[in-house]
Amino acid sequence: MDFEAARQRLIVALDVSSRRDALRLADRLIEVVGCFKIGLQAFTSQGPALVKELTDRGGRVFLDLKMHDIPNTVAAGVEAAAGLGIEFLTIHTLGGPAMLKAARSGADRSGNARLKLLGVTVLTSLDASELASVGLPTDVRVLAPRLAKLAQSAGLDGIVCSPQDLAHLPKQDQGGFLRVTPGVRPAGAASQDQLRAATPEVAIRAGATHLVVGRPILQSHDPKEAAVQIVEAIRHARMEVK
Protein backbone atom coordinates (compact mmCIF):
# COMPACT_ATOMS: atom_id res chain seq x y z
CA MET A 1 0.00 0.00 0.00
CA ASP A 2 1.36 3.42 -0.96
CA PHE A 3 1.16 6.60 1.12
CA GLU A 4 -1.80 8.02 -0.81
CA ALA A 5 -3.93 4.93 -0.20
CA ALA A 6 -2.89 4.75 3.46
CA ARG A 7 -3.72 8.37 4.20
CA GLN A 8 -7.30 7.85 3.02
CA ARG A 9 -7.71 5.59 6.06
CA LEU A 10 -6.78 8.31 8.56
CA ILE A 11 -9.58 10.50 9.91
CA VAL A 12 -8.47 13.44 12.03
CA ALA A 13 -10.87 14.63 14.72
CA LEU A 14 -11.02 18.42 14.66
CA ASP A 15 -12.17 18.61 18.27
CA VAL A 16 -11.83 22.37 18.64
CA SER A 17 -14.41 25.13 19.17
CA SER A 18 -12.75 27.85 17.14
CA ARG A 19 -13.44 28.11 13.41
CA ARG A 20 -10.00 29.63 12.96
CA ASP A 21 -8.29 26.72 14.74
CA ALA A 22 -10.27 24.13 12.79
CA LEU A 23 -9.48 25.66 9.40
CA ARG A 24 -5.84 26.28 10.31
CA LEU A 25 -5.42 22.62 11.22
CA ALA A 26 -7.28 21.49 8.12
CA ASP A 27 -5.09 23.61 5.84
CA ARG A 28 -2.00 22.16 7.46
CA LEU A 29 -3.16 18.54 7.31
CA ILE A 30 -5.26 18.27 4.14
CA GLU A 31 -2.45 16.82 2.04
CA VAL A 32 -1.56 14.06 4.50
CA VAL A 33 -4.89 12.85 5.90
CA GLY A 34 -7.98 11.42 4.27
CA CYS A 35 -10.85 13.02 6.15
CA PHE A 36 -11.75 15.47 8.91
CA LYS A 37 -14.15 14.54 11.70
CA ILE A 38 -16.47 17.26 12.93
CA GLY A 39 -17.99 16.26 16.25
CA LEU A 40 -20.31 17.82 18.80
CA GLN A 41 -17.82 20.45 19.97
CA ALA A 42 -17.06 21.95 16.57
CA PHE A 43 -20.53 21.47 15.10
CA THR A 44 -22.28 23.03 18.10
CA SER A 45 -20.03 26.08 18.07
CA GLN A 46 -19.69 26.58 14.31
CA GLY A 47 -22.59 24.72 12.68
CA PRO A 48 -22.98 23.66 9.04
CA ALA A 49 -20.93 26.65 7.87
CA LEU A 50 -17.73 24.95 9.05
CA VAL A 51 -18.61 21.80 7.12
CA LYS A 52 -19.09 23.87 3.97
CA GLU A 53 -15.78 25.68 4.44
CA LEU A 54 -13.99 22.36 4.78
CA THR A 55 -15.63 20.84 1.71
CA ASP A 56 -14.94 24.03 -0.27
CA ARG A 57 -11.26 23.49 0.53
CA GLY A 58 -11.49 19.98 -0.89
CA GLY A 59 -11.68 18.28 2.49
CA ARG A 60 -13.77 15.17 3.09
CA VAL A 61 -15.96 15.45 6.17
CA PHE A 62 -16.97 12.85 8.75
CA LEU A 63 -19.89 14.33 10.70
CA ASP A 64 -19.94 12.64 14.10
CA LEU A 65 -23.33 13.50 15.57
CA LYS A 66 -24.23 10.01 16.87
CA MET A 67 -27.90 10.51 16.01
CA HIS A 68 -30.27 8.80 18.45
CA ASP A 69 -33.95 9.73 18.38
CA ILE A 70 -37.30 8.46 17.12
CA PRO A 71 -37.09 7.02 13.57
CA ASN A 72 -38.82 9.90 11.76
CA THR A 73 -36.61 12.51 13.40
CA VAL A 74 -33.43 10.59 12.62
CA ALA A 75 -34.47 10.04 8.99
CA ALA A 76 -35.03 13.79 8.56
CA GLY A 77 -31.77 14.60 10.34
CA VAL A 78 -29.78 12.23 8.15
CA GLU A 79 -31.31 13.69 5.01
CA ALA A 80 -30.46 17.22 6.15
CA ALA A 81 -26.90 16.26 7.08
CA ALA A 82 -26.39 14.49 3.76
CA GLY A 83 -27.21 17.74 2.00
CA LEU A 84 -24.03 19.25 3.46
CA GLY A 85 -21.93 17.08 1.16
CA ILE A 86 -20.46 14.96 3.95
CA GLU A 87 -19.01 11.48 3.38
CA PHE A 88 -19.55 9.83 6.78
CA LEU A 89 -22.28 10.21 9.40
CA THR A 90 -22.67 8.39 12.72
CA ILE A 91 -25.87 6.85 14.11
CA HIS A 92 -26.23 5.22 17.56
CA THR A 93 -27.04 1.53 17.11
CA LEU A 94 -28.75 1.51 20.52
CA GLY A 95 -31.57 3.43 18.86
CA GLY A 96 -32.82 0.08 17.56
CA PRO A 97 -33.56 -1.47 14.17
CA ALA A 98 -36.49 0.79 13.21
CA MET A 99 -34.40 3.90 13.80
CA LEU A 100 -31.42 2.49 11.89
CA LYS A 101 -33.58 1.55 8.91
CA ALA A 102 -35.11 5.03 8.96
CA ALA A 103 -31.59 6.50 8.87
CA ARG A 104 -30.84 4.38 5.81
CA SER A 105 -34.01 5.63 4.12
CA GLY A 106 -33.10 9.23 4.87
CA ALA A 107 -29.66 8.79 3.37
CA ASP A 108 -31.08 7.14 0.25
CA ARG A 109 -33.57 9.97 -0.26
CA SER A 110 -30.86 12.61 0.06
CA GLY A 111 -29.20 11.89 -3.27
CA ASN A 112 -25.75 11.99 -1.65
CA ALA A 113 -24.36 8.76 -3.10
CA ARG A 114 -21.01 9.22 -1.31
CA LEU A 115 -22.51 9.21 2.17
CA LYS A 116 -21.59 6.25 4.38
CA LEU A 117 -23.70 5.64 7.48
CA LEU A 118 -21.76 4.28 10.44
CA GLY A 119 -23.39 2.69 13.46
CA VAL A 120 -21.75 3.51 16.78
CA THR A 121 -21.58 0.34 18.88
CA VAL A 122 -19.98 0.73 22.34
CA LEU A 123 -18.17 3.97 23.10
CA THR A 124 -14.45 3.58 23.77
CA SER A 125 -14.93 5.45 27.06
CA LEU A 126 -17.18 2.66 28.40
CA ASP A 127 -15.91 -0.36 30.28
CA ALA A 128 -17.77 -3.16 32.08
CA SER A 129 -18.57 -1.09 35.17
CA GLU A 130 -19.91 1.81 33.09
CA LEU A 131 -22.11 -0.53 31.05
CA ALA A 132 -23.42 -2.21 34.20
CA SER A 133 -24.39 1.15 35.67
CA VAL A 134 -26.90 1.70 32.84
CA GLY A 135 -28.17 -1.87 32.85
CA LEU A 136 -26.42 -3.14 29.71
CA PRO A 137 -24.61 -6.48 29.37
CA THR A 138 -21.20 -6.06 30.92
CA ASP A 139 -19.34 -8.19 28.41
CA VAL A 140 -18.41 -5.91 25.51
CA ARG A 141 -17.34 -9.01 23.57
CA VAL A 142 -21.01 -9.92 23.37
CA LEU A 143 -22.60 -6.48 23.07
CA ALA A 144 -20.37 -5.02 20.33
CA PRO A 145 -20.88 -7.89 17.83
CA ARG A 146 -24.62 -7.87 18.50
CA LEU A 147 -24.82 -4.16 17.70
CA ALA A 148 -22.58 -4.60 14.65
CA LYS A 149 -24.96 -7.24 13.27
CA LEU A 150 -27.87 -4.90 13.92
CA ALA A 151 -26.19 -2.12 11.95
CA GLN A 152 -25.40 -4.39 9.04
CA SER A 153 -28.88 -5.91 8.87
CA ALA A 154 -30.38 -2.39 8.80
CA GLY A 155 -28.31 -1.52 5.73
CA LEU A 156 -25.70 0.71 7.30
CA ASP A 157 -22.29 0.90 5.62
CA GLY A 158 -20.17 0.13 8.66
CA ILE A 159 -19.65 0.59 12.35
CA VAL A 160 -17.61 2.60 14.81
CA CYS A 161 -16.09 0.48 17.56
CA SER A 162 -13.10 0.15 19.83
CA PRO A 163 -10.08 -1.51 18.19
CA GLN A 164 -10.26 -4.03 21.02
CA ASP A 165 -13.72 -5.11 19.83
CA LEU A 166 -12.65 -5.93 16.27
CA ALA A 167 -11.52 -9.48 17.02
CA HIS A 168 -14.99 -10.35 18.30
CA LEU A 169 -16.92 -9.24 15.21
CA PRO A 170 -18.53 -12.00 13.11
CA LYS A 171 -16.83 -13.02 9.89
CA GLN A 172 -19.64 -11.70 7.70
CA ASP A 173 -18.69 -8.18 8.79
CA GLN A 174 -15.59 -8.42 6.59
CA GLY A 175 -15.38 -7.19 3.00
CA GLY A 176 -17.03 -3.87 2.21
CA PHE A 177 -18.45 -3.33 5.68
CA LEU A 178 -16.42 -0.48 7.18
CA ARG A 179 -14.84 -0.79 10.62
CA VAL A 180 -13.88 2.65 11.93
CA THR A 181 -11.95 2.76 15.18
CA PRO A 182 -11.48 5.73 17.52
CA GLY A 183 -9.43 5.30 20.66
CA VAL A 184 -6.24 5.03 18.61
CA ARG A 185 -3.07 6.12 20.36
CA PRO A 186 0.50 5.83 19.06
CA ALA A 187 2.84 3.86 21.29
CA GLY A 188 3.76 5.92 24.35
CA ALA A 189 0.81 8.33 24.07
CA ALA A 190 -1.52 8.77 27.04
CA SER A 191 -4.87 6.97 26.70
CA GLN A 192 -6.67 9.80 28.58
CA ASP A 193 -10.44 9.01 28.68
CA GLN A 194 -10.21 6.24 26.08
CA LEU A 195 -10.46 3.15 28.27
CA ARG A 196 -10.22 0.64 25.40
CA ALA A 197 -7.51 2.06 23.15
CA ALA A 198 -4.86 0.55 20.85
CA THR A 199 -1.96 1.62 18.65
CA PRO A 200 -2.53 2.23 14.92
CA GLU A 201 -0.65 -0.95 14.02
CA VAL A 202 -2.70 -3.12 16.38
CA ALA A 203 -5.99 -1.64 15.14
CA ILE A 204 -5.16 -2.21 11.46
CA ARG A 205 -3.96 -5.77 12.07
CA ALA A 206 -7.19 -6.47 13.95
CA GLY A 207 -9.25 -5.44 10.92
CA ALA A 208 -9.88 -1.70 11.15
CA THR A 209 -10.53 -0.05 7.80
CA HIS A 210 -10.20 3.53 9.09
CA LEU A 211 -8.65 5.12 12.18
CA VAL A 212 -9.92 8.21 13.99
CA VAL A 213 -7.18 10.14 15.75
CA GLY A 214 -7.58 13.44 17.56
CA ARG A 215 -5.46 14.59 20.47
CA PRO A 216 -2.23 12.75 19.55
CA ILE A 217 -2.20 14.85 16.37
CA LEU A 218 -3.86 18.07 17.53
CA GLN A 219 -1.75 18.36 20.68
CA SER A 220 1.53 17.51 18.95
CA HIS A 221 4.13 20.25 18.52
CA ASP A 222 4.07 19.30 14.81
CA PRO A 223 0.58 18.01 13.88
CA LYS A 224 1.50 17.35 10.26
CA GLU A 225 4.49 15.19 11.16
CA ALA A 226 2.41 13.34 13.78
CA ALA A 227 -0.19 12.59 11.11
CA VAL A 228 2.46 11.41 8.64
CA GLN A 229 3.86 9.00 11.23
CA ILE A 230 0.41 7.50 11.79
CA VAL A 231 -0.15 7.16 8.03
CA GLU A 232 3.18 5.34 7.75
CA ALA A 233 2.12 3.04 10.59
CA ILE A 234 -1.11 2.31 8.69
CA ARG A 235 0.81 1.66 5.49
CA HIS A 236 3.21 -0.81 7.06
CA ALA A 237 0.47 -2.59 9.01
CA ARG A 238 -1.66 -2.96 5.87
CA MET A 239 1.28 -4.49 4.04
CA GLU A 240 1.63 -7.03 6.86
CA VAL A 241 -2.08 -7.87 6.73
CA LYS A 242 -1.89 -8.56 3.02
Which residues are catalytic, by number?
Answer: 66
CA pair distance 230, 200, nearest whole angstrom = 7
d(CA 101, CA 121): 16
Q: 167 to each of 16, 61, 133, 144, how far by Cα in Å?
A: 32, 28, 25, 10
Helix (H, G, I), strand (E, B) or coil at 160: strand
Phi and psi for 178 in degrees, rounded to 5? -75, 145
CB 23 within 8 A of CB 223: no
* 100, 154 contact by CB (below 8 A): yes
Pairing of strands 35-38, 178-181: unpaired
Whether 43 contacts 65, CB under 8 Å: yes
Q: Are 64 and 120 in contact (CB under 8 A)?
A: no
